[in-house]
Amino acid sequence: MKKKKKVGVRELYNKDSLKANKELWGEQESDFSRRGFLSSSALLAMGTLLGGKIVFGENMPSDLIPAGLKDSDKEFSIPGKSGDLIILNDKPWNAETPPHLLDDKVTPSDIMFVRNNGVPPENINVSTWKLTIEGESAETTKSYTIAELKSKFNQYTYKLTLECGGNGRSEFNPVAKGNQWTLGAVGCSAWTGVRLKDVLDDVGVKSNAVYIGYYGADTHLSGDHNKVVISRGVPIAKAMEEEGLIAWSLNGEDIPVMNGYPLRLVIGGWPASVSGKWLTKIAIRDKVHDGPKMDGYSYRVPKYPVAPGTKVPEEDMKIIESMPVKSLITFPKSGAIVKGNRSFEVRGHAWAGDLTVNEMYVSIDFGATWKKCSLEKPANRLAWQHWKIQVNLPEEGYYEIWSKAVDSEGKAQPLIVPGWNPKGYLNNASHRIACKRIDV
């Protein structure tokens, strides 16, 4: 028997979105009367599959995979087409959090995402765990047990947004290698510890200090204990901010082992890769820290915009600093069905790296019009902000709800995937969820 090749919707769109429209929805080249938009027959076919008319479909760009389809891993058959088409569930093994589970203002510890580059330490002894501060720009070298940190310094609790620099990578085309994160490599939990700044001051920071770099107790995947898994850091000014913590507690309890127990660095607003887990050492450097994953293409983006797929010379890459403005819709869950003509709450969080979010909007008509949401102030600097709005879907059919945050410098989230870069960092595109109104 001949084995049929199964092709997923995402794969089709990634190859050639016009061809995908033709194959999936019977769209003909000549149907593209308004370039970039779907014809009414294609919209009808798509609506059948989604189970309802796509209201505002005339605004829907033709190269978008409807949000109601792309996050589903169900097999479905397309009317008049091969039933072998499969929606690819483009999540390889990685521990990210589905957006609707991030609905709490403070992300619960057990659902916070996990991103390990190596193997976490085993047989951890909290009472003998030591943190050493040293380096060219340290006045001296000092070591502290966790008990000493607790007794010697003031303790602080901050809610800090941690987002992996590669969150959203799965949307880049051509594909960027690495964990294919979709939306959920982010969280904002309450961290308790001592200020990094207070500890650095206790050791003494020389005036020529440029950067700090962390070291953790995890083991390199090769099993070679002499190899450092990851050792990143931040400029001294960022390290001296009040919210930078050496933390032993997450949401009032021990940090889960996967998130860095018994001690970790927590630096909000920058890619979470600067927040070293299983922290054993901090170096105060007289130059930009040069540990593994500081160099080459790691956590770096081109200094100038490049066309997708461009081979960018290494010297034209720059280190990612503050993360860009972004938002998540955490309620309702994508795919929600609204029965009848009623208004319902749409809500979520928004954050903007070192900045704050000034305005928050949602659209139910593919970005043609935007409604302003109510937006809370952050619990503290570098914590995400909560927003909500009442939404009413004007008639029966399929909708998408899009969210857009604007930061305190007036920069808005892009509606489509922004600046392609070799490693697929910083995708802060609008979050889109699917929503259907059914009148009964």
Ligand X SMILES: Nc1nc2c(c(=O)[nH]1)N[C@H]1C(S)=C(S)[C@@H](COP(=O)(O)O)O[C@H]1N2
Q: Rule CB under 5 A: which residues touch Mo ion? A: 115, 164, 273
- Name the minimum Å distance from CB 319 to ligand X: 14
Instruction: Give the nearer residue to ligand X in terms of CB position, either 118 or 213.
Output: 118
Q: Which of 114, 228, 312, 429 binds ligand X (CB under 6 A)?
A: 114
- Name the minimum Å distance from CB 361 to Mo ion: 28
* Tally of CA atoms within 13 A in the half-sphere of 111 that contains its CB: 15
d(CA 269, CA 300): 16
Q: Judged by CB under 6 A, does residue 270 bind ligand X?
A: no
Instruction: Give the nearer residue to ligand X in terms of CB position, either 114 or 210.
Output: 114
Instruction: Give the nearer residue to Mo ion in terms of CB position, either 93 or 304.
Output: 93
Partner in contact with 117, chosen from ligand X, Mo ion, none, beta carbon below 5 to 8 Å by kind: ligand X
- Contact between residue 20 and residue 70 where contact means Cβ atoms under 8 Å apart: no
* Tally of CA atoms within 13 A in the half-sphere of 430 that contains its CB: 22
Q: Judged by CB under 6 A, does residue 212 bind ligand X?
A: no
Total length of the chain: 440
Q: Judged by CB under 6 A, does residue 230 bind ligand X?
A: yes
Q: Between 84 and 103, how does the x/- string for binding to ligand X read (CB under 6 A)?
A: --------------------
Instruction: Give the nearer residue to Mo ion in terms of CB position, either 164 or 434.
Output: 164
Residue pointed to by tokens 């293409």: 297
Instruction: Give the nearer residue to Mo ion in terms of CB position, either 164 or 176.
Output: 164
Report the candidate in 274, 20, 225, 210 with the shortest Cα–Cα distance to residue 121. Answer: 225
Which residue is at the shortest CB distance from ligand X? 216
Report whether the peptide linkage leading into residue 332 is cis, meaning its omega lies within 30 degrees of zero: yes
Q: Which residues, 272 to 291, sit near ligand X by CB under 6 A?
A: 272-273, 275-278
Report the candidate in 120, 135, 160 with the shortest Cα–Cα distance to residue 274. Answer: 160
Sheet holding 385-392, edge to edge: 326-331, 343-351, 385-392, 374-375
- Name the minimum Å distance from CB 329 to ligand X: 21
- 401 φ/ψ angles, rounded to the nearest 5 degrees: -105, 125
Determine how many CB atoms are found less than 10 A away from the CB of residue 313.
8
